Amino acid sequence: MASVRSGTRREDHKAFWAFSLPAFILYLFVFGFPIVLSAVISLSNYKGGQMFGGEPWAITGFKQYGLLFSDPAFWLALKNNIYIVLISVFGQLPLGFVFAYLIYRKVVKFGEFWQGILYVPAIISVIVLGIMWKFIFASNGLLADLFNYGNTSKLVAALNLALNSGTTLNDEGIRHILKAMDPNVVGLLGSDPVAGFKEQLLPGGSLAIGDPAAFVNAMKNYAPKWTPEFMTKQDTAMIPIMFVTLWCWTGMYVILFNANMQKIDSEVIEAARIDGATEMQTARHIVLPALSGILINAAILCIAGSMNQFALIWAMTEGGPMNVTEVLSIYMYRTATIGQNYPLSNAIAMVIIVISFLLIGLTKLAQKRLGGQE
């Protein structure tokens, strides 16, 4: 990086400062000072209200960090963040690479079209994604409709099977039907479900069914109603979110990787192909190493983005239900606005920053190690 030689030293310096100062001052104002403020508050007992001239507050030490590390909500949020990091680094990047490679090598046609379409999620406001998400995963949403339809079909099949041997039911048939019914409903039939079934659900208490079609129709709604219970439990609740995260950002990496692939000398590829290398080999031994630098950079951006992920998850679940999908940034937001605990909230902010750097440092370390192998 050569800089200009001529001109007086003083003029050079003045110019440097003149050009860089606006950016630097703004940067300090928007990033620098808040970070320092965050560190200070995290070590204090500030309670909100006026900072200077209001109620006195003081530095009290690392108490908040101690509280933080003993709070299970913190570890849950951290775990959720790790999930996002994993799906990003090991999902978006490989998938992005594969798609980019396929487009680059023209294994699929209309490359520009695919690139364009795959990038669309990145420009849609997350609020729209949140609404769609709720629509699909809600208790009475699309997914529920699908599962319920499946359950109903199973029950109808069991009913038809039981009526197969004529229109008279027997105990065994009833048992099969009960198995396909909603356990809640079965519970209402009393301690002996078969007897209860005969008593309460058979028209006139008779085992002979006059109108099988009507009977099936009357019974089919006793099928189990699916609830998205997996969304109220830790870990499983993160699955839909991870899926959406994967879908959302992969497109950007497709474009990024594809562009870098274009820079590879096509003669090298041709030579390999002539030598009889398969696509997989070409990808593994030529393209992948050529992109290693970009991959590391992308991984770093990925990690940074994942650790700071807020808007998308907030729009989908607000960290719920019951905080199971909370990530660190939402946890931080919650302790500040609802919990009104500013020192704790800022401690979390500090932790997010430190962890980001740790992960990125690890990545750089990995780069050095892997780079050595070449």
Partner 1 sequence: MKKLIIATLMVAVVALGAMAQKTTLNFFYYIDATQAGYAEDQAMWQKFKDANPDIDLQMEMLFSQAYHEKLSSYIAAGQLPDVIYMWPGARDSSKLLHDNKLMYDLSKVLDKDLLSKFTVAALNPKAQASNQLSELPQAYTYCGVAYVNRKLLADNGIAMPKTYADLKAMVLKLRAKNVQTVALPDGDSWPAQSCLMSTMVGRYLGDAWVDNVKAGKVKFTDKDFVNVLTQYKKLYDDGIINVTNVQMGYGEGPALFASGKAAIIIDGDWRVGAYLTDKTTGKALIDPKNQDDYELVNLPAFPGEKFPGTAAATAGCGLGITKTLTGAKLEAAKKLLAYYYGKDFQTMKWETGAFVPTRTDLTTDKLEPLGVKLPKFYAANSKTTYVLDSVLDPSVFNVLNAGLQSIPLGGDTPAGVAAKMQAAQDKLLKK
Partner 2 sequence: MSNTAIDKERSFGTSLVGKIAAIVGKIVAYAVMGAFAFMAVFPILWLIMNSFKSNQDYQLDKIGWPKEWFPINYAGAWQIGDFGILLPNSVFYTVVGTAGVVLISTLAGFAFAKLKSRASVPMYGSFVIGVMLSLSSLMIPLFLQLSQLDLLLGNLWTSMGLMTDPRAFHLFYNTRFGVILVYIGSGLPLAIYMITEYIRGIPTSLVEAARIDGASYWKIFARIILPMCMPIITTVAIITLPGIWNEFALINIIVGKLDLQSLPLGILRFSGSRSADYGKQFAALVIGLAPMLIFYIAFQKQITKGVSGGAVKG
Q: Which residues bind partner 1 (CB under 8 A)?
A: 48-50, 54, 134, 138-140, 144, 182, 184-185, 187-188, 200-201, 218-219, 221-222, 225-229, 231-232, 318, 321-322, 336-338, 340, 342
Whether cis (ω within 30° of 0) applies to the bond prior to 321 is yes
Biggest CA-to-CA distance, the chain: 108
- Measured between alpha carbons, how far apart are the two ends of the chain, in Å? 27
338 binds partner 2 (CB under 8 A): no
108 binds partner 2 (CB under 8 A): yes
126 binds partner 2 (CB under 8 A): yes
Q: Which does 219 bind (CB under 5 to 8 A by kind): partner 1, partner 2, none?
A: partner 1
Question: By three-state DSSP, how is residue 154 classified?
Answer: helix
Structure tokens at 369: 């190690």
Q: Which is nearer to partner 1, 228 or 251 (CB)?
A: 228
202 binds partner 2 (CB under 8 A): no
Structure tokens at 44: 């204090």
Q: Which is nearer to partner 1, 11 or 55 (CB)?
A: 55
Instruction: Let me know if 258 is exposed, middle or buried by CB neighbors in 10 A (0-12, 13-18, 19+).
Output: buried
Residues 149 and 100: their CA atoms lie apart, in Å, by 38
Each residue 34-63 as x (binds partner 2 by CB under 8 A) or -, in order, gives xx-xx--x--------xxxx----------
Could you tell me the smallest distance in angstroms from the CB atom of residue 296 to partner 2?
A: 9
Question: By three-state DSSP, how is residue 44 classified?
Answer: strand
Could you tell me the smallest distance in angstroms from the CB atom of residue 370 to partner 2?
A: 14
Structure tokens at 50: 């006026």
Residues 106 and 115: their CA atoms lie apart, in Å, by 13
116 binds partner 2 (CB under 8 A): yes
Q: Which is nearer to partner 1, 231 or 313 (CB)?
A: 231
* Cα dihedral 125/131/137/142 (nearest 10): -110
Sole residue written with tokens 């994967």: 246
Could you tell me the smallest distance in angstroms from the CB atom of residue 76 to partner 2?
A: 18
Q: Which of residues 136-175 bind partner 2 (CB under 8 A)?
A: 142
Question: In the set 252, 283, 286, 316, which binds partner 2 (CB under 8 A)?
Answer: 252
Residues 211 and 54: their CA atoms lie apart, in Å, by 80
Q: Which is nearer to partner 2, 150 or 293 (CB)?
A: 293
Contacts of 272 (CB under 8 A, 6+ apart): 281, 282, 285, 286
Residues 372 and 370: their CA atoms lie apart, in Å, by 5
Q: Which is nearer to partner 2, 101 or 215 (CB)?
A: 101
Question: In the set 255, 287, 299, 324, which binds partner 2 (CB under 8 A)?
Answer: 255
* Residue 64 host element (H or E): helix 63-69
Could you tell me the smallest distance in angstroms from the CB atom of residue 219 to partner 2?
A: 25
Question: In the set 59, 60, 61, 127, which binds partner 2 (CB under 8 A)?
Answer: 127
Q: Which is nearer to partner 1, 108 or 138 (CB)?
A: 138
Q: Which is nearer to partner 2, 215 or 331 (CB)?
A: 331
Strand partners, 59: 44
Could you tell me the smallest distance in angstroms from the CB atom of residue 275 to partner 2?
A: 8
Could you tell me the smallest distance in angstroms from the CB atom of residue 290 to partner 2?
A: 8
Structure tokens at 327: 């990530």
Whether 119 and 255 have beta carbons less than 8 Å apart is answered as yes
CA-wise closest residue to 243 among 347, 115, 137: 137
Question: By three-state DSSP, how is residue 208 classified?
Answer: strand
Q: Which of residues 269-328 bind partner 2 (CB under 8 A)?
A: 275-281, 285, 291-294, 297, 300-301, 303-305, 307-311, 314, 328
Q: Which does 225 bind (CB under 5 to 8 A by kind): partner 1, partner 2, none?
A: partner 1
Could you tell me the smallest distance in angstroms from the CB atom of residue 229 to partner 2?
A: 21
Q: Which is nearer to partner 2, 26 or 268 (CB)?
A: 26
Residues 313 and 244: their CA atoms lie apart, in Å, by 9
Q: Which is nearer to partner 2, 188 or 354 (CB)?
A: 354
